[in-house]
Structure 1
Amino acid sequence: MNAASASAPSGTSPPPPPATQAPAPAAPLPPLSGSARLWGTLALSAATFMNVLDTSIANVSLPAIAGDLGVSPTQGTWVITSFAVANAISVPLTGWLSQRFGQVRLFVLSVVLFVLASVLCGLAPTMPLLIAFRALQGFVAGPMIPLSQALLLSSYPRALAGVAMAAWSMTTLIAPVTGPLLGGWITDNMTWPWIFYINAPVGVLAALVTWGIFRHRESPRHALPIDSVGLGLLVVWVASMQIMLDIGKEHDWFESPLVVGCAVVAVIGFAAFMIWELGDKHPVVDLTLFKIRNFWAGAIATSFGYGVFFGNVVLLPLWLQQFMGYTATQAGEVLAPVGLLALVLSPIVGRTVTKADPRQYATISFLVFALVLWMRSRFNTQADVVTILIPTVIQGIAMAFFFIPLVTITLSEVHGPRIPSASGLSNFMRITAGAIGTSVSTTLWERRATMHHVHLVETLQQGNSTLAQTLQGLQAAGLSQQQALGQVELLLNQQAFMLAANDIFYASALIFLLLIPLIWLAHRPHASEGSAEAAAGAH
C-alpha cells in the first residue's frame, strides 16, 4: 500500500518562460507497440513495485533491526518515518526536475540512486546511519512513481490509458501484500540487510530496460526557476516536526528543551513557509489550491484517513511480535491478505468511479475501515490467527474504495496546468500524515500501556486473591519466588500493551466515522476524461 505517489506531470506541466520556450510545441510521441510496450510496461512496473515495497517491507523487520543496532523497537520506527518524510519533501519537486532534466533521464537517475541508497541501508552499522540512508532513499524515490505513470501513459494509445493505469495500479496493490511476507521471511531466514539488498537486481534491470526503450522518447527540457527559499523552509519545518514527534516519547515531551526547540522551529518554519509561498511567483507548493472546495475537502480527508490507517499498519506487527510471540514471517503472513480483496475490487472501482458518486465510494471505505478497527479493538491476548486474519481480509474492501474515489474528488475541480501542483500537494499531505500517524500511534501506545500497567498493578495490590493464587501456581510449577514475580510482570506487560492497542484501534475507528461528513462537504464530481485518468493512477 504505498504508500508515496503523485500525479504524472506529463503533458500538464506549466509552460516555460518565453525566453526558454521552444519555437513550437513538440508533437506528441506515438504510442509504443509490440514487445517494446510490453517490456517498457514491465520495467516501469518493476521500479514502482520496488519503491512501494520499501514502504512496507521494513514494518515486520523493525524488532530485528532495532535489536541488532541496539535501540528500542519504537526508536526503530524512524526507519519508516525518515523514508516517508524525505519522500514527501521530494514529491513537489518532480515537475520542476522533470522539466529541467527530462522525464526519462530523471526516472532512470532516480532508480539508480534508489538502488545505491538501498545498498547503503543494508550496510549501515548504526541506527543514525540507517536513518540517514533511508532518508536519502526516500528523497530520491520521490519522482519514480509519478514519472512511471507519465511514461506509461505516453506508451499507450489514449483509448487504452485506463488499461495501462489499471495494470500499473496492480503493482501498487501487490507490493504492500508482498512486503510483510518477504520482509518477514528474509528477517527470519537470512539477515535484515537483505530486505534492502534485493532492490539492487530489480532496480538495475528496470533502469537498463527503461533507458533502452525510452531514451529516444525524452521530454523537452527547460531551465525553470526553483523556489529554493520555499523548499528550504519546507525541509526545516517538516523535519523539525517529525523529529519532535519521534523523540518526544523518549524525552518526556515538552519537559525536554530539545523537544520544545524542535516544536518552536517547526511552528516558526511553517509560518514563514506559508507567508513566503503565498507571495512567491514560482512557489514549490501552490497554496491557492485550498481555495478550491473539493481539493481541500478531499486532500484533508485523504491525509487524515491515510495517517490513521498507516499508524495502525505499523502498530499491528509490533504488537504481534513483541507481545503475542509471532515471528517476523508469521506477522507478515497475518498482514499479507490485506490486498486480496483490494486486487479484485480496485479495477471495478476504477471503471465505475466516474459513473457513480465517488463520495459514496469513499464513505464505504471509511465505514469498512471503522468496522475493521472496531473488530481489532476487541482482540485479547488469546486471539488466534483466524481472529486476527478476518479483519485483515475485510480491510481489502476499504483499501479498494479509498484511493481512487478520494483522488477523483480531490482533483475534480482542478484544471489544466494546476493538476500536477494539486497532485503533488495532496500527496505531500498524505505522505507526511502517514509519518505523523506512525509517530503518534506508537507514542500513544506506550503511554496508554504505562497507564494500564499502573491500573493493573493497583488492582493486584488491593488484596486481590488472584495474585496470590498465580504466584502459588507458578512456584508449585518449580519457579522461585523471584522467577514467579518476573513471570507475573511479563503477563502484566502483555495485558497492558494489549489494552493500549485496543484503545488505539477503537479511537482510530471513531476518527474514520468522524471523517465521513468531511467527504460530503465536497461537490459531486462530474465525469470527465481527465478525472478518469487521474483516478486510474490514484495509487
Structure 2
Amino acid sequence: VRGYNSLQIGQIMSVGGIAMFIGGPLAGALIRKIDPRIVMAFGLSLAAIGLYWNSFLTADSSFEELFWPQALRGAGLIMSMVPSNFVALGTLPPLKLPNATGLITVCRNLGGAVGLAALNTMRLNYTNLHTQEISAGLDPSRPEVQDWLLQAEASMRAAGNGDPTAAAIAQLTRRMQVEAAVMTFNNLFLAMAICFAVMILLVPMLKRPAPANAGAAKEAH
C-alpha cells in the first residue's frame, strides 16, 4: 500500500519480534509466581487490543501508527503462548508428556494452516466486496468523479503522458484497489481481535496445573 522496500518492512515487523523477545522471559517469570491462566488471559488481552488497534489503519498509516499495535500484539502472543503450553502439559501425568508435546506441536501447525486458509478466503471475499462498494460510488456521471478525473488528466498531460485520460483512469483504479485492500485488512484485524476476545472468555475453563505436574511440564517444554 505504501510502497515500502524490504528494509522498511523489516523495521516495522521487527517491533513485534522485539516485543516477543522481551515478553517471553517475562511470561516465564510470571507463571512461576501467579496462576498461569492469569498470564494467558493478560497476553490474549494485549494481543486483542493490538489487533483491534490495527483495524483502524488508513492508506497513510506509517511506522508511528503501526508501532504500538505491533508491540502489543507481539508481547501478547508470546505471553499467551508460553502459559498455554504450561497449562496444557502441566495437567497431564509425566508419562504422557512426550506424546503430548508432539501432539501440541501438530495441533499448533494444523491450526496455523487452517487459520491462514480461513484468513485468505476472507481476504478474497472482503476485497471483492469493498471493490464493488467503492466502484458503485465512482460513477463517471458524478461531478466529484469528473472533477477528479479532469485534474488527474491535467497533471498527466503536464507530465508529458501520451494518453492522459487512460493514465487518469489507471490512477483512479489504483487508488480504489488500495482503499479496498486497507478496508479488507482492517476487517481481518477486527475478526482476529474478536477471536482473541472469545479465547479470553474460555481461559477460566482451563484446569490449573498441579505444582508437581507444572514442574514436569516446564522440563518437557
Q: TM-score, normalised by structure 1?
A: 0.38
Which of 185, 196, 216 is residue 501 of structure 1 equivalent to? 185
Secondary structure class of the residue paired with 2:59: coil
Match status 1:339 vs 2:23:
no
Corresponding residue for 2:119?
A: 441
> Does the Cα contact within 8 Å between 1:359 and 1:524 map onto a contact in 2?
yes
Per-residue displacement from partner, 1:393-437 (whole Å, max 9, x unpaired)? 222320331122101111122112211111111211111111122
Which of 208, 211, 219 is residue 524 of structure 1 equivalent to? 208
Per-residue displacement from partner, 1:122-168 (whole Å, max 9, x unpaired)? xxxxxxxxxxxxxxxxxxxxxxxxxxxxxxxxxxxxxxxxxxxxxxx
**Number of residues paired by the alignment?**
215
Seen in structure 2, the aligned counterparts of structure 1 residues 409 and 469 have a Cα distance that, compared at 3 Å, is same
Seen in structure 2, the aligned counterparts of structure 1 residues 411 and 463 have a Cα distance that, compared at 3 Å, is same
Runs of 4+ that moved beyond 6 A: none
Distance 2:185 2:85 in 1: 30
> Does the Cα contact within 8 Å between 1:372 and 1:395 map onto a contact in 2?
yes
> Does the Cα contact within 8 Å between 1:355 and 1:527 map onto a contact in 2?
no
> Does the Cα contact within 8 Å between 1:341 and 1:396 map onto a contact in 2?
yes
Q: What percent of counterpart residues are identical?
A: 20
Distance 2:22 2:156 in 1: 54
Matching of residues 322-471 of structure 1 within 5 Å: 323-461=1-139, 463-471=141-149
Matching of residues 246-285 of structure 1 within 5 Å: none
Give the aligned residue type for 1:505.
F
Seen in structure 2, the aligned counterparts of structure 1 residues 466 and 385 have a Cα distance that, compared at 3 Å, is farther
Distance 2:31 2:17 in 1: 20
Matching of residues 73-88 of structure 1 within 5 Å: none
The alpha-carbon deviation at position 439 of structure 1 amounts to 2.0
Distance 1:520 1:473 in 2: 59
Matching of residues 110-149 of structure 1 within 5 Å: none
Which of 484, 490, 496 is residue 174 of structure 2 equivalent to? 490
Secondary structure class of the residue paired with 2:182: helix
Q: Which runs of 5+ in 2 are unaligned?
A: 158-163
Seen in structure 2, the aligned counterparts of structure 1 residues 491 and 537 have a Cα distance that, compared at 3 Å, is farther
Seen in structure 2, the aligned counterparts of structure 1 residues 326 and 532 have a Cα distance that, compared at 3 Å, is farther
Give the aligned residue type for 2:199.
L
Seen in structure 2, the aligned counterparts of structure 1 residues 399 and 433 have a Cα distance that, compared at 3 Å, is same
The alpha-carbon deviation at position 388 of structure 1 amounts to 1.4
Per-residue displacement from partner, 1:304-345 (whole Å, max 9, x unpaired)? xxxxxxxxxxxxxxxxxxx22112222111101212233233
Seen in structure 2, the aligned counterparts of structure 1 residues 510 and 462 have a Cα distance that, compared at 3 Å, is farther
Give the aligned residue type for 1:461.
D
Match status 1:477 vs 2:155:
yes
Seen in structure 2, the aligned counterparts of structure 1 residues 367 and 352 have a Cα distance that, compared at 3 Å, is closer
Q: TM-score, normalised by structure 2?
A: 0.90
> Does the Cα contact within 8 Å between 2:51 and 2:73 map onto a contact in 1?
no
Distance 2:219 2:52 in 1: 30
> Does the Cα contact within 8 Å between 1:444 and 1:504 map onto a contact in 2?
yes
Asked which structure has the greater RCO (Cα within 8 Å, sep 6+), the reply is 2
> Does the Cα contact within 8 Å between 1:354 and 1:531 map onto a contact in 2?
no
Q: Which runs of 5+ in 1 are unaligned?
A: 1-322
